[in-house]
Structure 1
Amino acid sequence: MDKATLLAEVITHVKQMQKTADQVSDGFFIPLDSDEVRVEQLEKIPGEEASFRASICCDYRPGLLSDLRKTLVALNVSMVRSELSTLEGRLMIVFFFSANRRKDLSSTKDDEELKRSVHQALSSTVEKFTVSLDYSPRIIWPNKKRKISHLESSSSSS
């Protein structure tokens, strides 16, 4: 086997391994490093309600999940399923939902408006937590010892 044939075979094998890795990782939800809100409409089935997928990626903060739930309730959507994953303080939530309206009244314009409304509402909820994080005091680790200068303590006793 010559070098060119061997190299071509290795390249083919690496490409196949990359495809396999991509297929396997499709089912995993790994939080991204940047804050992100996405809303997309899933394939519409004639005669059925429009279905959507919303994903949120952000830092975890207490109260975030309850605020997201309140936001979705206020939007009057039917939750079908949700998935949540965390990694090093980052959070990724994927919601699958449908519109709470009669099937015969649904139009493409209504679906786009709902998609836009959900995106705006989820974005403002995530931004609220991001802004509050910017103005919150730094976290002080409870196990960290406080540094004391020996010069200061000896001069104050004289």
Structure 2
Amino acid sequence: MKFKYDEFNNNEFESHKLTYNLIDPNTKVLDLGCATGYLAKELLKKGCKTWGVDGDTNAAKKAEKYCSSVIVSNLDECTSFPFPKKSFDYVILLDVIEHLVNPENTLLIIKSYLKENGKIIVSTPNIAHASIRWMLFRGLFEYTSTGIMDKTLSSKKLAIDC
């Protein structure tokens, strides 16, 4: 199964659709790991305004079409964002947090951008998904450029980083 991080997945059991359903209309959203802005595009239909952050310059350029503002930043290196504090109803990290070196620090930083009663929505990939199970059953464990088994999680990279 090929994972797509450049288009909205409308399957009712996938994190994109579940997150979309959790977000109230006419709210402000900070999307950390916004990719090409595919979720922001859908949220526009609900009257939401989305601000995005992504580490990929090319993806961020595409996201500008749907987001109020997009900044290119490595979430692990960011100690603050150029957004007003307490200004977002939602901060979302979809399939992002597992790639962070210090997720606790990132969560502490983003908390300050939430309005009172704001919500943080986090999803992580499902390692028990049938496609992953099938691959492992066949004895395959291939790193890819995106997804749960992306190259940021390789033991070789971990050894280099340490």
TM-score, length-scaled by structure 1:
0.25
Highest Rg: 1 or 2? 1
Structure with the bigger percentage of helix: 1
Higher relative contact order (CA 8 A, sep 6+): 1
TM-score between the two structures when normalised by the length of structure 2: 0.24
